[in-house]
Chains A and B, each alone.
Chain A
Amino acid sequence: MNELMRRMLFLPEQASEYARSVDQLHFFVITTTMIAAAAVFGVAIYFFVRYRRRSDTEPTPRISPRPIHEVVFIGLPLSFFLLWFALGFPMFVSLQVPPKDAMDVYVLGKKWMWKFAYPGGPSSLDALRVPAGRPVRLLITSRDVIHSFFIPALRLKQDALPGRYTQTWFTADTPGRYQIFCAQYCGVAHSTMLAEVVVMPGAEFDDWMAEQRRGLKSAQDSSPVAIESVRFGSSLVGEGERVAAEQGCLKCHSVDGSRHIGPTWLNLYGRAEKLTTGKTVIADEAYLTKSMMEPGADIVAGYQNVMPTFQGKLSPPEAAAIVEYIKSLRTSAARPGPSEPPAYEPIPPGK
């Protein structure tokens, strides 16, 4: 019955007990709605046929309601509505009360990606790994505008607000991979702000977490630069973002394409920049690194020479991390032309 209704209503898979119980309410509510709509419509159709006009001038009887009619008109729908509410509201309340032993994961939404951080552990972009059968509490915030963290398979949604943490929780019980959407409109690449929940069997998750903690599997593989010391478990891009925030780079350089004191970092890498001297330079690794150390050397046309040097403030790996971060700031949807695949790459299964 559950499976039939789920398919008829095009609902996605149910990856938690909560999802199954919400769906039960869904089936009840939609069935009542359809019966009510069909009943009103059916009665109306019957009246149209039964009382169709036979003469243009014939008077009709004057019929007024007795109090009982209006009581039924109010009472019948109200009792159904209140029943729905009585069933639905406790589920919502349960979402507000995570169990005490829940594992915390910090969720950061920003234009246009999701970042997940485990306390004292690794962080990752665009893939939320959780153990099956154990409660997980999400502490959600945003770096820029309002986003909304939405996992259809868990029937779960919570807005990510800048400057504030919101929370929700779930216990996924079916290992698998489920889509995460951003549900609150957040700009040009809103519809590519996707991610995945990877529900892993408990033991597998523990192994993965232990591996991350040992720092054996850090996501440095993609880096072309030799790294001396990067905090374990975080990607070079994440490291660059952290350093950029700490050093105050982002006070002058936007990462979303908006114009600020310095040139935006969005799509900066590889861009041909026109300089105040009239020359043009390609913003490659060399130029980006040079601009950090000798900001006054090559000023982009239209900007003031106001940036201090970071010579001696940034270690070479930190500078490299910032460059990697700048390289990661690309949006395909911001430019017209053929689109590219979604901005996240699924994690190969079994990892």
Chain B
Amino acid sequence: MSPSLPASEAPAYAPRNYLNAPEKGWRSWLTTLDHKRIGVMFLVATSVFFAVGGLFAMLIRIELLTPGPTIMDAMTYNRLFTLHGVVMIFLFMIPAIPSGFGNFLLPMMLGARDVAFPRLNLLSFYVYLTGAAVALYGMIAGGADTGWTFYTPYSTTTTTNVVPILLGAFILGFSSILTGLNFIVTTHTLRAPGMGWMKMPLFVWSIYATSIIQILATPVLGMTLLLVALEHAFGWGIFDPARGGDPVLFQHFFWFYSHPAVYIMVLPAMAVISEVVCAFSHKNIFGYKAVAYSSLGIAFVGFFTWGHHLFTSGQSAVDAGIFGILSMFVAIFTAIKVFNWTATLYKGSISFKAPFAYFVGFLFFLVFGGMTGVALATVSLDVDWHDTYFVVAHFHFIMVGGVIMAFLAALHYWFPKITGRMYPEGWGLVAAVMIILGFNFTFIPQFLLGNMGMPRRYFHYPERFQALNVASTAGASVLALGLVIVLVYLVLSLKFGAVAGSNPWRSRGFEWDTPSPPPPENFLVTPVITRGPHEYDDSAPDFPPSTAPEPKHAS
């Protein structure tokens, strides 16, 4: 807590903040209703699961170094890729940005004291922990071998213990719904005086769109997973044709949630990027309305594209055509955002810090990953690429290249806000370069493997695929090392990082208009919003006069 610099030169560390007020100690954290503490708990929990999922990924990559068994047998491998998918999607990606950063930031960006339903918010966290515990039990008690997609009738006839994992994902869905509900009500009712809809930060717009999907789509997943669990446990004939069911019905149900779920993961990433690009180029967003409305557009059209996962399932050509076209429209909204972010840089004042490095990576990965997605939607190319490593590479470009880059950007950008301390910038850039390069070396070979025809979820593979698999594993090692470096310096910075001061980036985001770390009530005086959220066209002071004056920066 005591900076090494003389107190007069160092930026102040807010002495009374949400970390130590109103109470300290783990009991006050576990019963807290403070959205910031709940957000931090979500961030810690999801980061732990990110590490677990990453460990599974590395084991998978090591196994694929040779065409035959390398370090495990086929059954273990099948369980590992299932757990990798389940942990990364349900335990990390879906909650990480909305429930973690969203919880911490959304009320502050709206100038609110807390979310609309603080108790529901805490419940959401405990529901998440319960779901995670049930899913973890399922993993320890054997683990499923179905893949995270749980395709029937394989999943309803497998001898592995699939029910606990299904129930875990079912419970996790409620956490998602509760958080989404909370954010929607908060956005509607708790905006600070002066904040109209067109003055909301773009982060809020995107999280708001995410919340709509969470509320509307998640129940469908819950229902579907429950049906699979019932069929597996009691032999109901819903999906298994041997008992009069329809196996393709499951795929429709599943993707009706799981395709919008892609946007549950990507929209929050876009939320982060919209903030980062403005803050680090000190520039207003080029097309505010275009970026804001395109979030809603993605949320809406995203519901009508699920059929593009079924092009080879015997779906009619009419369906395939409709879903193909609609998939292209959803990509257009992404394109609008990409162009607007790029145009925002024009005549900006760009500071190339670690969050901005991740933005650069994100931009490239999103364009390439997004356009390969549109390529898959041309239907006939999908017939060749479907269920090959091309698809694996495509969605990892979006999931890792998009979401994890944004998660890391957010982690660095808001680290001073959350902890009141800075991370080491040099190490931040080194790690960012390693992660971005390692990522490319991991997944570009996988695009080529898909072109060669290597199907996904293969334990054995013909020897001609080996060279590219080795390249991919090498890339993944660099990526993993980069992530470990991030973990180490961020943890060290919690204790040894330089004190950041309230607004080290000179950002105009409303969340910076209060000390860092923020006081428990966010703003000492209810802020009155008089300007837009991303305005850098005057040299107004970093701080509104309504709050206590802040000491000058040491820089």
Binding site for B on A (CB under 8 A): 9-12, 22, 25-26, 29-30, 32-34, 36-37, 40-41, 43-44, 47-48, 51-65, 69-70, 73-74, 77-78, 81-82, 84-85, 87-89, 91-93, 95-96, 144-146, 148, 150, 152-153, 155-159, 161-164, 166, 179, 181-192, 257-259, 333-339, 342
Contact = CB atoms under 8 A, between A and B. Distances in A.
A58 B347 CA distance: 12
Given A162-B242, A185-B147, A257-B159, A60 B367 contact: no
A54 B367 contact: no
B287 A65 contact: yes
Given A60-B348, A181-B455, 13 more contacts: A25-B381, A34-B368, A47-B345, A48-B345, A53-B282, A63-B347, A70-B290, A81-B377, A92-B320, A145-B154, A146-B154, A162-B240, A163-B242
B158 interface: yes
Given A57-B539, A70-B287, A191-B74, A161 B381 contact: no
Interface of B: 68-69, 73-75, 78, 145-147, 151-154, 157-159, 240-242, 247-248, 281-284, 286-288, 290, 311-314, 317, 320-321, 324-325, 328, 331-332, 335-336, 338-340, 342-343, 345-352, 360, 363-364, 367-368, 371-372, 374-375, 377-381, 383-384, 386-388, 448-449, 451-453, 455-462, 468, 506, 535-539, 555
Contacts of A153: 453
Given A40-B338, A74-B336, A47 B363 contact: no
B351 A36 contact: no
B423 to A, nearest CB: 19
B310 to A, nearest CB: 9
Nearest to B73: A336
Contacts of B348: 47, 51, 60
21 contacts: A22-B383, A33-B371, A40-B339, A48-B350, A64-B288, A65-B290, A70-B336, A73-B339, A77-B331, A77-B335, A87-B378, A89-B321, A92-B320, A146-B151, A146-B153, A152-B452, A179-B453, A181-B453, A183-B455, A191-B455, A191-B458
Contact of A53 (B147, B346, B350, B367): B350
B248 A85 contact: no
A34 B368 CA distance: 7
Nearest to B537: A62
B340 A334 contact: no
Given A40-B364, A57-B506, A47 B153 contact: no
A334 B153 CA distance: 19
Contacts of A84: 328, 374-375, 378
Interface pairs A-B: 9 shortest CB-CB = A152-B453, A163-B241, A88-B378, A91-B380, A47-B345, A62-B537, A191-B458, A166-B314, A183-B387
Contacts of A92: 311, 317, 320, 379-380, 383
A161 B151 contact: no
A306 B371 CA distance: 60
B345 A89 contact: no
A88 B78 CA distance: 34
Contact of A78 (B240, B332, B383, B536): B332
Given A54-B349, A96-B317, A188-B145, A44 B386 contact: no
Given A40-B364, A55-B349, A183-B388, A148 B312 contact: yes
A53 B351 contact: yes
Given A84-B374, A157-B387, A59 B537 contact: yes
Contact of B335 (A73, A95, A163, A258): A73
A33 B375 contact: yes
Contacts of B468: 10
In this complex, the member of A87, A144, A258 whose beta carbon has the largest number of chain B beta carbons within 10 angstroms is A144
A184 B336 contact: no
A114 to B, nearest CB: 14
A73 B314 CA distance: 35
Contact of B328 (A78, A145, A150): A78
B312 A159 contact: yes
B64 to A, nearest CB: 11
A60 B386 contact: no
Given A55-B349, A70-B287, A73-B290, A157 B386 contact: yes
Contact of B381 (A29, A81, A146): A29
B371 A186 contact: no
A37 B340 contact: no
Nearest to B460: A191
A333 B286 contact: no
B75 A334 contact: yes
A60 B347 contact: yes
Contact of B384 (A152, A166, A257, A339): A152
Given A22-B381, A166-B314, A150 B455 contact: yes
Given A33-B372, A40-B338, A56-B506, A188 B349 contact: no
Nearest to B536: A60
Contact of A85 (B286, B325, B451, B455): B325
Nearest to B453: A152
B472 to A, nearest CB: 13
Contacts of B456: 183, 185
A144 B281 CA distance: 57
Contacts of B338: 40
A185 B144 CA distance: 13
B241 A164 contact: yes
A144 B457 CA distance: 19
B493 to A, nearest CB: 22
Contacts of A81: 328, 331-332, 374, 377
Nearest to B371: A33
In this complex, the member of B283, B325, B384, B535 whose beta carbon has the largest number of chain A beta carbons within 10 angstroms is B384
